[in-house]
Amino acid sequence: MTVLPDDGLELAAEFPDVTHEQWQRLVAGVLRKAGKDVEGDAAEEALSTQLEDGLRTRPLYTARDTAPEPGLPGFAPFVRGGRAEGNTVGGWDIRQRHTVADRDTVLADLENGVTSLWLVAGEGGIPVPDLGTVLDGVYLDLAPVVLDAGADTEPAARELLRLYEERGVAAEAARGNLGADPLGHEARTGRPGDLAPAAELARLCAGTYPGLRALTVDALPYHEAGGSAAQELGASLATAVAYLRELTEAGLSVEQACAQLEFRYAATADQFLTIAKLRAARRLVGEGRRGVRRAPRGSAGPARGDLAGDDDAPRPVGEHAAHHRGDAGRRGGRRGLRDRAAVRPRARAAGRVSRAGSPATPPPSSSRSRIWRGSSTRRAVPGTWSG
C-alpha cells in the first residue's frame, strides 16, 4: 500500500468556493425547469420536508448552521455518550434475536461473531422449559442473555436464574437483562401489566446479580403502532418514570432503580432522523436524570433524585443507521439508565441481528472471549469482543 505524504491537500481544493446564495440560485434554476418560479430562501424551502412531528428538515446543512453544544463524552448533556472514554473502549456487542428453540443455530451464531443472545420466550417464542436446551453449550458466564418474554417474564427469568445456579455461574458473572416490560407488553397486546413482579426482579438483581438488569423500556410498540419519533421518545420517558416510581416504592434507591433500566429505540431507513431522535433521547434522559422526583414514604413533599450519576449518564445511542432487518444499539455506561437503539423493520422477521449496549460489567478479556462450547478450548473469535 502506498502512503501519500501529508502535504495539506484537501479533497475540495480543486473546486471553487461556492456561497450558499449561489447554491440557492442553482436550485431555483432546476425548480424553474419543473414549473416552480421561486428564488433564494423560497427555493430552498421548496426542497424542505415537513415531518410528522411538525419539524422541518432542510435539503442542505453547512457550517453556517448553528447547533446546540454537544458537550464532551461523559458530561452533560451526554449527547456524545455517558462515558468519558467514548464509545470505542470495550467495542461492540453483537446481539442475535432468537424466537425458536434451536440450539444449533444459537451455537453457530456465537461461533460467527455474535456476542450476546436475545431470547424471545413464552407465548409465540421459545417455551420457558426449553431455555436450558437452547442454552446448552453456551458459556453463560461470557455470553450475556436478554429475555423478551412478555406475560411469561417472571417464570422465564426464574428459569434463567436457575440455569445460572445449576451451571455454576457466579452471581457476579451473570450478565444481561431479564427483560421485564409490563407497560410495553400492555401497549403491544392490550393485556394489563403488573409492575410488582418486575419490581421484585429488580430487587433481586440489585441485591444479588450486579451484572443483570431487570427491566427494558421498549419503545418499539409505539413505533410499530405508527407513533412518530417524538411520540416514541415521550412514551419511553413516561414509561421510565413509571418504572422508577415503582422501583423506589419497592425499596430501591434512585441510583439502584436507574441501574435496572435499559432503553430500546427503533431506527429506520431514515438514518438522519434516526440519529437526531437518538441524540435527542440521550439529551432528554440526561435532563431527566436531574429532574426525576419521588415522594418519600410518609411525606407529601417530593424528594429530588438523579437518574444517574454525573460520571456515567444514560446513553440512548444516536449512532445507528439501519442494518437491514436488524436491531442495533451501542454499549451503555455501567451505571445509570441503560439503553439500546433498535434497528428494526415494522414487519417482524425472525433471526434479526442486533447490536445492543453491553451489560453492566466490563467485557471479558480476549483470552476468555469464546462464549460457546464445542471444542476442548476457548479461543478468541474475531468480532466477538474488541477494545
Write out residues in the chain with pLDDT < 50, as ranges.
Answer: 1, 294-387
**Does residue 8 belong to any structural domain of this protein?**
no
pLDDT of residue 236: 97
pLDDT of residue 70: 83
**Does residue 230 belong to any structural domain of this protein?**
yes
Predicted TM-score of the model (pTM): 0.70
What is the domain extent for residue 205? 94-361
**Does residue 385 belong to any structural domain of this protein?**
no
pLDDT of residue 293: 52
- Order of strands across the sheet that contains 176-180: 326-328, 353-355, 94-98, 116-120, 145-148, 176-180, 212-218, 261-267, 338-343
**Does residue 9 belong to any structural domain of this protein?**
no
What CATH number corresponds to the domain at position 333? 3.20.20.240
Number of domains the chain is built from: 1
**Does residue 142 belong to any structural domain of this protein?**
yes
Q: Could you give the CA distance from residue 344 to residue 223 in angstroms, rounded to a whole number?
A: 10
pLDDT of residue 163: 98
**Does residue 116 belong to any structural domain of this protein?**
yes
pLDDT of residue 73: 86
pLDDT of residue 244: 93
pLDDT of residue 47: 92
pLDDT of residue 382: 27
pLDDT of residue 72: 87
**Does residue 217 belong to any structural domain of this protein?**
yes
**Does residue 366 belong to any structural domain of this protein?**
no
pLDDT of residue 71: 85
